[in-house]
Structure 1
Amino acid sequence: MASTIEINDAVFCSSHKQEVCKDCDNDSREENDAFFGFDPIDRDALHVPSVRQNEHNDYVCEKHGSAGCSQCFNWKKQLTRLRMAAKKAGK
């Protein structure tokens, strides 16, 4: 299994910070769906904005400089949108 990291409760590959990464053979969609209270479905992957680690090793969004950035790291809201799009597309 690929090495993973957690950014504001969601899991991504550690090398590329992608929820689905072919290079790392990582697909964290099912784990993230379950954590946020959703049944797993075939959907597009979450997108991680530009991030860096701060002195406490927390991931911080580059845009706002916040580790708990509710705009950039609102995974549940993003998941809801991705799931609605997948259902519309018939996935």
Structure 2
Amino acid sequence: MSQSSESLVPDLTDPEVYEAAVRELVASTAPGLFAVVQEREESPDAYVAAWGVEFADRRVAAFTAGLGGWLSLADTDRLLSALDVPGVRTRIVPVA
């Protein structure tokens, strides 16, 4: 390996360089955080029914706020179907 290409490889034995690399790894692979909001159709009333995370492969995991249970599903569409309630609009709201 030539001297110039060796300089492109970060020195992970340096604690500051290693910490920066770990933070970059975490930031680039972090799942998306979202709330599942339910709104009554007959009146302007909304509440958070669940909190969830969506992974890079679209799988989701959610914790239901009122029921205290975990759901693990293939995607957000299936999560919305699982939390469907007649007369209630259920939607995903991403956390900024």
Kindly indicate which of the two structures has a greater share of residues assigned to strand: 2
Q: TM-score, normalised by structure 1?
A: 0.29
Kindly indicate which of the two structures has a greater share of residues assigned to helix: 2
Looking at CA atoms only, which structure, 1 or 2, has the larger radius of gyration?
2
Q: TM-score, normalised by structure 2?
A: 0.28
